[in-house]
Amino acid sequence: MHSLSEINKQIKIIKKLIKLNSKIFYYKNINYFPLVKLAIASENFKNKKKNDNKRNNNYFSNIKFILNLPFILVNSFFYKKYFKKNLKKKDVVFFSDIGAYNDKYNKKKYNSFIDPYFKKIKKKYKSIKIEIAPHWYKCEKNKLFQPLYLKFLYLDLIKIIFFKIKRFYFFQEIKFYKDLEILLKKYSINIESKSFQEKFDQIYFYSQLLETIIKKINPKTVFLACYYNDMNLSVVLACKRLNIKTVDIQHGGFEPEHLLYSNWQNSEIKKGYELLPDFFWIWHENLLIDKFYYKNKNHKIITGGKYLIEKRNKIYNDVYKNISIHERYFFKFIRRYKKRILFCATSDLPKCLIEAIKISQKNKDWIWIIRLHPRHSNHKRIQQQLFKEKISLKRIIIQEASKINLYLMIKKSSDVLIDQSSIALDAFCLKKPIVILNNYKNLYKTYKKIKLCNFSNEPLKIIYYIKKNKLDKNFNFSIFDRGNFSLVKKNIFN
């Protein structure tokens, strides 16, 4: 996870690249600029040693695959029957992520980024939910809306084997990628051209497989969340070739710090990008302010609102009714404290937060709850940070992301602190005072515009805001829930 100062540097580099001739980023009639931004924002293309190790691991995976081939062939036979039976023509397709089931309703798991929208739209249009899964994935039955599982290996075994053999043993470096690596080095961006080429080859290959499947469903519209992961980029590319509308549903903050939602080339306003969805469904009109989306006809903004699986009170009552004994004890324990300060970590603890915790140690009616990020935080490392500063853990709870329901945790907290997390938006809907622990207000223009929070990286000021505990009463907190489905219907389904 990058620090905000690193993000600021990345944005400055991107702004320089925007000024270059867009032809530099074109290969086979596709503008690679979105992938370049993805490479800058992530670590996946930079570490040559790490990528070499990954390729060595692939070698052993290939041996394992050969040994398991008889079982794969048998499973493939049965899977094709299941797939053929469930693959039907639909008006709308939702691509969901198998790893995004962090919430429950009626004792069943649901994907909060996709399922509320699926529930709403399937009432009016014939819809199907698809989840791309590896061949070894055990299909879960405890889901609120059961998806059709798409396992490429079982559907196109021969094609995938040839693709892997070609990539692993007969890789040929293309000049375009090497030129791109040399160009980016001038801007202090170290990207390994081979990794970059492999990444796009994979996206392009799976887009061809997806094209065949989506063509059979023949939908008018395809929905997804987080368009820039590998498989979703393949979905977008396949839909572009089939002339099917794609919609990226907002799954978090759209601030300028998010390189995959801002800072685009003016040269592409008329033509647009092959790797970008046609529509961006946002929760509130002020949450995506990049002028690019309002100047072009290829990537439009739709203010559809933020949907929930049910009304807030129903969700709250259902979740609380079904919580574990451990969770019930946790909420009973923190209730004794006047100030229950929730910090949603994205990586390590910021220095200003550590100092603020130090200052507050005298307040015996304050408790700090540090919720770890599901991917980027490390429990042991955060403990070490606190021990190093000789901070007592007596009134500090470090909580794993999956242990306690986030919605309840925000609801039961008195204040919410973040450094980069979009959880600020969820806390805002629950009318909680929020402090963002930095002064990079230019990176949170929309938050500032809707008076969502206070900003500070000064420990004493953070303590002051927590004590103040006030909200802007003039703002309509239900605005994210309201949405405008008639607008969605008019623009997306007509």
- The pair of three-digit structure tokens given for residue 399, joined into one six-digit string: 């909580």
Cα–Cα dist 185/465, whole Å: 43
Ranges assigned E (strand) in 226-338: 245-249, 279-282, 300-303
SS3 labels along 294-308: HHCCCCEEEECCCCC
Reported confidence tier of residue 328, pLDDT bands at 50, 70, 90: confident
Span 5-16, mean pLDDT? 79
How many helical (H) and strand (E) elements, i.e. helices and strands, does the chain have? Answer: 21, 17
Amino acid at 266: N
Reported confidence tier of residue 2, pLDDT bands at 50, 70, 90: low
Q: Which residue, chain included where needed, has tokens 């992530």?
A: 42
Q: Which of 121, 182, 155 is nearest to 305 (CA)?
A: 121
- The pair of three-digit structure tokens given for residue 44, joined into one six-digit string: 């996946």
Span 363-386, mean pLDDT? 86
Cα–Cα dist 371/377, whole Å: 9
pLDDT at 167: 84
Cα–Cα dist 350/283, whole Å: 29
Reported confidence tier of residue 304, pLDDT bands at 50, 70, 90: confident
Instruction: Say which residues have a Cβ less than 8 Å from residue 151's Cβ, sequence separation at least 6.
Output: 79, 133, 134, 135, 137
Cα–Cα dist 360/295, whole Å: 49
Helix boundaries (H) for 170-290: 175-185, 193-217, 230-242
457, pLDDT greater than 60? yes
The contacts found for 292-299 with CB under 8 angstroms, 24 or more apart, are 292/262, 292/264, 292/266, 295/269, 296/268, 296/269, 296/270, 296/272, 297/272, 298/271, 298/272, 298/273, 299/272, 299/273
Measured CA distances, 481 to 71, 168, 307 (Å): 48, 48, 6
pLDDT at 286: 75
- Given the DSSP bridges, would you call strands 92-96 and 30-31 parallel, antiparallel or unpaired? unpaired
- Given the DSSP bridges, would you call strands 279-282 and 300-303 parallel, antiparallel or unpaired? parallel
pLDDT, tens digit, for every residue of 248-266? 999 877 765 678 888 899 8
pLDDT, tens digit, for every residue of 16-60? 999 999 999 999 899 999 999 988 877 555 555 455 555 555 655
What is the CATH architecture assignment of 324-479? 3-Layer(aba) Sandwich (3.40)
| Virtual torsion, Cα 129, 135, 136, 138, nearest 10 deg | 20
pLDDT above 90: percentage of residues in the chain: 43
Query: Chain-wide mean pLDDT for the chain?
Result: 85
208, pLDDT greater than 90? yes
pLDDT at 341: 96
Cα 324–chain centre separation: 28
* 148-162, 244-258, 369-383 — most confident range: 148-162
pLDDT above 70: percentage of residues in the chain: 88
pLDDT at 441: 63
- Between CA 347 and CA 350, with CA 348 as vertex, the angle to 5 degrees is 115
Reported confidence tier of residue 460, pLDDT bands at 50, 70, 90: very high
- Per-domain residue ranges of the chain: 324-479
Cβ neighbours of 81 (radius 10 Å): 9
